[in-house]
Amino acid sequence: MSESDDSMSEIDAQEQNHSNGVGGGIPDYIMNLDNIPAKLPTHLELHKTRVICNIDAPQHTDPINYSGAYAALGVDNSVRLDNFCQNFKVEVKRFTDEDIEFDMIGIDPAIANAFRRILIAEVPTMAIERVYIANNTSLIQDEVLAHRLGLIPINADPKLFEYPDNAGGENNEKNTIVFKLHVHCVKGQPRITVKSDALKWLPNGSELIADDTKPNAESKPKTFTSFRDNHDSKKKFAKNPPAPKNLDIILAKLGPGQEIELEAHAVKGIGKTHAKWSPVATAWYRMLPEVVLMEDVVDEMAEELVSKCPAKVFDIEDIGEGRRRARVVNARACTLCRECIREKESEDGADKKEKESEDGADKAIVIKKKEWEDLISLRRVKDHFIFTIESTGAISPDVLFTEAVKILEDKCERVITELS
Amino acid sequence: MEHGSYTDLSKSTFSLMDEDHTFANSVRFTLNQDPRVTFCGYSIPHPSENRVNVRVQTTGDPACEVLKDGCQDLMLMCQHVRNTFEKAVNDFKTSKTEDHMDI
């Protein structure tokens, strides 16, 4: 008892120091008055930090950003950087080669959403952009085939390449990866399936002759790329040569006698230009659900509650004397389907009319309806984001997130330099 | 580009090329947290134009400086997010390998 008292008074002392020190524009004598609240009243705090999901609609959905929102109460709503740094937390929940799930705690939706948008649209990757078809006698049309090729995730680090516009329209080893695909189904043999593993990397660039004119005897014939002798880049890729990330993507099927011969050029780009450059399958976040039982839910009610929750949020615990009580065990799994607070539908129209005549029974139903909504409070925590990134596989998901954050930093830097 | 008046520097509209909600909404958030800002909002005048207009009104400081500070704050926040994230991922990786060793 005494311990808790001590800690309480300590906190009080700290708060006073805090308000004295950081009071800023507010004169100290005002901050020293007894009736200046250091914290928001609980109901306002609840509205500020939680979305409350009622049966009809969610309430208090908007974040309260304005620094002076609670100025009348003497509460400073501004977020100082050191405050943010103290409160911000990241917890990784799941991490594989292809996806990551982590909790971001203490961040505003504006910024979490910026990260998500950047992940989808602005983190660069490599994708096939130009396809030179030398021969295609298969059933699949040239343009459809080219589109399919474009969507293949390419396993190559985009940091090693430049954007094609930087080279002034020249396709060289710094901005282009060239793949060759040449498959042929021999007559008399069964049909074959062309998969993405048929794409072979050409480290020396294009092999197709670009001009119809006869090449000079001395100079090499002009191709679609102008690769210089690139020992460096070959060394760079010795361990990990550029290739499709998944080798079992079906591209086409060939009947006997059919053939595809083409060259595919992959370049660097961003998802804003075309979704094929998007490095993620999806990136999304959701706010942490919070389920609070406002009163004890016992016995039959408890069992009903457990059985009607599709996400298995509740469990039953024994409280002795043969009684059971519902307990929230897995609020994180809650999808906020609101099934647990839904009013009963068992009475259809005709039934209802009958019931209305019997006054007593109707009242009982009304009470029941009210009860569930009052017993359970479904909320979402406004500054707790469960962030999931599903990578296409070319770049590891943790690298993707760091890249996204860097891109937002670069944007800030650009604006700062433009303003000064 | 800045649209404001020469006599009153505390109110300005900034027209940023090649930006969208991603940047504008984040910077709107950081500016709203700044006690010097009385009003801040952004709009995209036309969806097929790569441009946002950010309006900043302050209690007296030059809007340009306040916007710069907002960007600076956002940048520092991002750096902190990145460091925290990298640390969390490393922690997760090491705890995973420890788990494997236990088995």
Return the pLDDT at A91: 94
Whether residue A271 sits in one domain with residue A251: yes
Put simply, whether B50 touches A (Cβ < 8 Å) is: no
Measured from the Cβ of residue B35, the count of other Cβ atoms closer than 10 Å reads 17
Return the pLDDT at A169: 73
The torsion of the CA quartet B7, B10, B13, B14, rounded to 10 degrees, works out to 100
Return the pLDDT at A258: 95
A369 in a domain, yes or no? yes
Whether residue A268 sits in one domain with residue A287: no
User: Domain ends where: A278, A305, A322?
Assistant: A278
Residue-number span of the structural domain to which A195 is assigned: 125-278
Whether residue A193 sits in one domain with residue A52: no
Do the Cβ atoms of A411 and B25 come within 8 Å?
Answer: no
A65's tokens: 């950003």
Return the pLDDT at A130: 93
Whether residue A113 sits in one domain with residue A97: yes
Whether residue A408 sits in one domain with residue A350: yes
CATH classification at residue B47: 3.30.1360.10
Question: Any bridge partners for residue A287, and if so which?
Answer: A385
Do the Cβ atoms of B81 and A405 come within 8 Å?
Answer: yes
Mutation for testing the A interface, residue in B14, B29, B57 having most A CBs under 10 Å: B29
Q: Residue A420 is nearest to which of B28, B68, B79, comparing CB atoms?
A: B68
Measured from the Cβ of residue B63, the count of other Cβ atoms closer than 10 Å reads 25
Do the Cβ atoms of B25 and A84 come within 8 Å?
Answer: no
Put simply, whether B76 touches A (Cβ < 8 Å) is: yes
Return the pLDDT at A6: 44
Residue A104: partners with Cβ closer than 8 Å, 6 or more residues away: A88, A89, A90, A112, A285, A384, A385, A387, B81
Q: Residue B67 is nearest to which of A90, A405, A419, comparing CB atoms?
A: A419
A208 in a domain, yes or no? yes
- Per the structure, how many domains does chain B have? 1
A298 in a domain, yes or no? no
CA A193 to chain B, closest CA, distance in angstroms equals 39
Chain B residues close to A85, C-beta within 8 Å: 80
B102 in a domain, yes or no? no
Closest by Cα among B45, B46, B2, B43 to B21: B43
Chain B residues close to A104, C-beta within 8 Å: 81
**For chain B, counts of helices (H) and of strands (E):** 2, 4
pLDDT tens per residue across all 103 residues of chain B: 667 667 788 899 999 999 999 999 999 999 998 889 999 999 999 999 999 999 999 998 999 999 999 999 999 999 999 999 999 999 999 988 877 766 5
A365 in a domain, yes or no? yes
Put simply, whether B21 touches A (Cβ < 8 Å) is: yes
CA B66 to chain A, closest CA, distance in angstroms equals 11
Whether residue A43 sits in one domain with residue A68: yes
B16 in a domain, yes or no? yes
Whether residue A255 sits in one domain with residue A135: yes
B52 in a domain, yes or no? yes
Put simply, whether B47 touches A (Cβ < 8 Å) is: no
A309 in a domain, yes or no? no
C-alpha distances out from residue A225 to A146, A164, A176, A235, Å: 18, 12, 8, 20
Q: Do residues A329 and A315 lie in contact, with contact meaning Cβ atoms separated by under 8 Å?
A: yes
- What is the 3 state secondary structure string of A264-303? EEEEEECCCCCHHHCCEEEEEEEEEEEEEECCCCEHHHHH
* Phi, psi (deg, nearest 5) at residue A281: -70, -50
pLDDT tens per residue across all 420 residues of chain A: 344 444 444 444 444 444 443 444 555 665 565 555 567 888 888 888 899 988 888 988 888 888 888 887 777 777 778 888 889 999 999 999 999 999 999 999 999 999 999 999 999 999 999 999 999 999 999 999 999 999 999 999 999 899 988 777 778 888 899 999 999 999 999 999 999 999 999 888 888 877 655 555 556 667 787 777 666 666 677 778 899 999 999 999 999 999 999 999 999 999 999 999 999 999 999 999 999 998 888 888 889 899 989 999 999 988 888 888 999 999 999 998 988 888 765 544 444 444 444 555 555 555 554 568 888 999 999 999 999 999 998 899 999 999 999 999 999 999 999 988
Return the pLDDT at A363: 54
Does this complex have an ipTM over 0.90?
yes
Return the pLDDT at A5: 44
Put simply, whether B9 touches A (Cβ < 8 Å) is: no
CATH classification at residue A410: 3.30.1360.10
**Number of A–B residue contacts, CB under 8 Å:** 124
Chain B residues close to A89, C-beta within 8 Å: 84
A4 in a domain, yes or no? no
Q: Transcribe A362-404 into DSSP letters.
A: HHHHHHHHHHHHHHEEEEEEEEEEEEEEEE-SSS-HHHHHHHH
Query: What single letter denotes the amino acid at residue A339?
Result: E
Whether residue A213 sits in one domain with residue A92: no
A373 in a domain, yes or no? yes
Do the Cβ atoms of B33 and A114 come within 8 Å?
Answer: no
Whether residue A136 sits in one domain with residue A73: no
- What is the 3 state secondary structure string of A215-250? CCCCCCCCECCCCCCCHHHHHHCCCCCCEECCCCCE
Residue-number span of the structural domain to which B72 is assigned: 2-93
- Per the structure, how many domains does chain A have? 2
B24 in a domain, yes or no? yes
Return the pLDDT at A366: 53
B103 in a domain, yes or no? no
Whether residue A170 sits in one domain with residue A108: no
Do the Cβ atoms of B82 and A88 come within 8 Å?
Answer: no
CATH classification at residue A271: 2.170.120.12
Whether residue A68 sits in one domain with residue A193: no
Task: State the Cα–Cα distance between residues A396 and A96, nearest whole angstrom.
Answer: 9
Mutation for testing the B interface, residue in A120, A415, A418, A420 having most B CBs under 10 Å: A415
CA B42 to chain A, closest CA, distance in angstroms equals 13
A394 in a domain, yes or no? yes
Return the pLDDT at A152: 95
Classify A395 in phi/psi space as left (phi over 0), alpha (psi -120 to 50) or beta. Answer: beta
Chain B residues close to A409, C-beta within 8 Å: 75, 78-79, 82
CA B100 to chain A, closest CA, distance in angstroms equals 15
Return the pLDDT at A70: 84
Measured from the Cβ of residue A109, the count of other Cβ atoms closer than 10 Å reads 18
